[in-house]
Structure 1
Amino acid sequence: MANLFVTLRYQLAVTLLALAPLATRAQLSSPQIKRDKKPPKENVEWLWQYGPPPADGRETALVLDNRFRPFLAQYLTAPQTFWGNPKTGYKTLDETALDFLSVPDKVIADENRYLSITGCVFRFCPARGLLWVDLGLPHPLIAFAAIDWIKDSKTPNEPGAEYTLWVFPNHPIDPDHIPAALIHSVARWTAQPPTGSTVIQQIKNTILVDPDGTPHQIKPADIGANTFTRPEPEQKAQP
Structure 2
Amino acid sequence: MRRTLQLAAAILLTAATAHAQFHLPGAKDKPAKVHKSDLEWLWQYGPSDTDKEGRENDLVQDGRFRPMLAQYLTATQTFWGNPVNGKYRPLADTALDHLSVPDKVIADDNRYLSISGCVVHFCPSRGLLWVDLNAREPLLAFAAIDWIRDSKTTAQPEAEYTLWIFPNRALNPEPGSPDRIPPALIASIARWSAQPLAGSGIVQNLTHAILVDPDGAPHELPIATVGVKVPKALAKKEAQP
Post-superposition CA distance 1:172-222 (Å, at most 9, x none):
000213211001000000110122221000111100000000111001110
Structure 2 counterpart of 1:143? 141
For residue 185 of structure 2, give the secondary structure of its aligned residue in structure 1: helix
Structure 2 counterpart of 1:117? 115
Structure 1 counterpart of 2:32? none
Letter in 2 for 1:202: N
Post-superposition CA distance 1:44-67 (Å, at most 9, x none):
100011111122351111111111
Structure 2 counterpart of 1:17? none
Structure 1 counterpart of 2:213? 210
TM-superposed deviation, 1:136: 0.9
8 Å CA contact 1:52, 1:107 repeated in 2: yes
8 Å CA contact 1:167, 1:209 repeated in 2: yes
Structure 2 counterpart of 1:47? 42
For residue 90 of structure 1, give the secondary structure of its aligned residue in structure 2: coil
**Is 1:66 matched with 2:69?**
no
RMSD: 1.5
Match of 2:202 among 199, 202, 205: 199
TM-superposed deviation, 1:147: 0.1
**Change beyond 3 A, Cα 1:126–1:218:** same
List aligned pairs for 1:78-93, cutoff 5 A: 78-86=75-83, 89-93=87-91
TM-superposed deviation, 1:224: 0.5
Structure 1 counterpart of 2:125? 127
CA distance in 2, matches of 1:136, 1:106: 21
Unpaired segments ≥5 residues, structure 1: 1-39, 228-239
Q: Normalising by structure 2, what TM-score?
A: 0.75
CA distance in 2, matches of 1:98, 1:60: 12
CA distance in 2, matches of 1:226, 1:201: 10
Say how many residue pairs are matched. 188
TM-superposed deviation, 1:225: 1.4
CA distance in 2, matches of 1:199, 1:226: 14
Post-superposition CA distance 1:27-77 (Å, at most 9, x none):
xxxxxxxxxxxxx96411000111111223511111111110011001000
For residue 91 of structure 1, give the secondary structure of its aligned residue in structure 2: coil
Structure 2 counterpart of 1:159? 157
Letter in 2 for 1:161: A
Q: Normalising by structure 1, what TM-score?
A: 0.76
Comparing 211-220 with 40-49, which one deviates more in the overlay? Answer: 40-49
For residue 203 of structure 1, give the secondary structure of its aligned residue in structure 2: strand
List aligned pairs for 1:176-191, cutoff 5 A: 176=174, 177-191=180-194
Unpaired segments ≥5 residues, structure 2: 1-34, 175-179, 231-241
Q: Report the identity percentage.
A: 64
8 Å CA contact 2:47, 2:54 repeated in 1: no
Structure 2 counterpart of 1:11? none
**Change beyond 3 A, Cα 1:184–1:57:** closer
Letter in 1 for 2:207: K
TM-superposed deviation, 1:159: 0.8
For residue 211 of structure 1, give the secondary structure of its aligned residue in structure 2: coil
Look at both structures and tell me which one has the larger radius of gyration over its CA atoms.
1
8 Å CA contact 2:45, 2:54 repeated in 1: no
TM-superposed deviation, 1:84: 1.2
